[in-house]
Structure 1
Amino acid sequence: EAVLSPRDDHFAPPSLVCIENTHNRGGGSVWPLAQIESVTSAARQHGLALHLDGARLWNASAASGVSESEYAGHFDTVSVCFSKGLGAPVGSALAGTADLIAKARFYRKQQGGAMRQVGILAAAAMHALEHNRARLADDHANCGTLANGLAKLPGLEVDAAGTETNLLFIGTGGRDAAALAKRLDESGIRLLATGPHTLRAVTNLTVTAGEIAQVLKAFEQLP
């Protein structure tokens, strides 16, 4: 409401509200359903369109117990990804009304985004949907184990209590994050430096509980 009123001629009027669930930069945090209802209700009152960036919607549902359809019901369009938590080699999908999807197909074609003979990719996405959703809780548990272990190490900043899903941001305590990532990569551990002093770790179906223990040991041995 504060952003929308009063309107300022110096800025373009908003037309869309987009919510990301789970929230990447929020450390894989899950939007509470009540908060989504509050935001989307306010947006509707102002005639704004609503989009759910659900690249990790499967994780949000697994962590909260709220179904994907219940989350999606508050939005005009929803995008989901099959290659992140679900582990398919590639693939995303956009859901919405028939009219909206018809427009989306046109714009995709206009931008050269159409693909032919993608049945093999669709098959991989279907396999991921049918076989990998139930095991997302394992990724969340592994991430929680990693967070709790790193929180005990001196010189690191980790919000273990706030780790809800499979994303973890690690403060390096002033040490160069890129240098630490490079050193860990030499041990076969790949993390992303998202800032000068921040690393991001993501657990997925290729990371086992035993490997989490190896990661913790590698961090313990860092200078």
Structure 2
Amino acid sequence: MWKIDELKEVLRLCKKYNVILVSDEIHSDLVFKGHKHIPIASLIEDDFKNCITLVSPTKTFNIAGLSVSAVIISEAGLRAKFRSTLSKNGANMLNIFGLVAAEAAYSSCEKWLDELLVYLEENLNTLEEYFKENIPQIKVIRPEATYLAWLDCNGLKVPAGQLKDFFVNKAGVGLNDGFAFGKEGLGFQRLNFACPRTVLLEGLERIKKAVDGLSC
């Protein structure tokens, strides 16, 4: 999670260099206990207007197929430019099914979300404990929010460039290759733990079997 001083520094730099700030806060509802999401727009105190905030219920409520989201732009001129660009690209049509789903999610599903967060954190604890006890070569970088955990695989006897092949073809588990997010991600994999715990455990057991096979 971004801290207040970090967010303020981003705002300062964007203002200094006249940069339009686009803040993707689509995962902002999925925050674990002890942490808090701070909308960056809430920290704007001066005349900086080049801020665009993106939000959506699709990640939180698993309705990505309905293609619904919201863009928050307080400055009228920037908002007009954004709308014009959408119109020119034919992306200005509303999705009635998505709108109804978004309204239902935000107005009637708070209890469900509370239960989801508990389940996700239990999955995260399971994930972390399993690697510590059974696959210590892989380190879990515990997230403060979202259902995506980074795995530091630099302790494996697998070249970083071959990790994707190892997990897919040896372990039978599809993860996101860290290198796809930039060269700093080399040696890392991203795991989605938003699934039934039985599925998570099956995936972990497959990874363990593949890792154990490296020492044979």
User: Does TM, scored on the shorter chain, surpass 0.5?
Assistant: yes
| CA RMSD after TM alignment | 3.0
Distance apart, 1:31 and its partner CA: 0.9
Relative to structure 1, the CA distance from residue 46 to residue 63 in structure 2 (aligned partners, 3 Å threshold; closer, same or farther) is: farther
Q: 1:121 aligns with which of 92, 95, 98?
A: 98
Shift of 1:38: 3.5
Amino acid at match of 1:57: S
**Separation in 1, partners of 2:131, 2:171:** 17
Equivalence map 1:30-179=2 (5 Å): 30-44=1-15, 47-60=18-31, 62=32, 65-66=35-36, 70-74=39-43, 76-88=51-63, 89=65, 90-97=67-74, 99=76, 100-116=78-94, 118-130=95-107, 131=109, 133-134=113-114, 135-154=116-135, 156-160=137-141, 162-165=142-145, 166-172=147-153, 173-175=156-158, 176-179=162-165
* Unmatched tracts of structure 2, length 5 or more: 45-50, 180-185
- Gap change, CA 1:168 and 1:67, over 3 Å in 2: closer
Is the contact between residue 148 and residue 192 of structure 2 (CA under 8 Å) also seen in structure 1? Answer: yes
Give the Å deviation of 1:184.
Answer: 7.0
Residue 194 (1) aligns with residue 169 (2): no
Q: Does 1:182 align with 2:151?
A: no
Q: Is the 8 A contact 1:51 1:78 kept in 2?
A: yes
Structure 1 gap ranges (5+)? 1-29
Deviations 1:158-208 (A, max 9, x none): 234x4323211223324232223324784xx5422333643211122xx12
Secondary structure of 1:201's counterpart equals strand
After superposition, the C-alpha distances for 1:41-64 in whole angstroms (9 at most, x for unaligned) are 45445554433121212224x555
Aligned to 2:198: 210
Q: Give the AA of the match of 1:138.
A: Y
Other structure's SS at 2:122 match: helix
3-state DSSP of counterpart to 1:57: coil
1:159 is paired with a residue whose SS is strand
Percent identity of paired positions between Structure 1 and Structure 2? 15
The alpha-carbon distance between structure 1 residues 111 and 123, as it changes in their structure 2 partners (threshold 3 A), is same
Displacement of 1:67 in angstroms is 5.3
Q: Write the distance in 1 (CA, Å) between the matches of 2:157 and 2:69.
A: 37
| Aligned counterparts of 1:47 and 1:91: Cα–Cα separation in 2 | 30
User: Which of the two has greater helix per residue?
Assistant: 2
Q: Secondary structure at the match of 1:59?
A: coil
> Which segments of structure 1 move beyond 6 Å, counting only runs of 4 or more?
none
CA contact (8 A) 1:144 1:164 kept: no
- The AA in structure 2 aligned to 1:215 is G
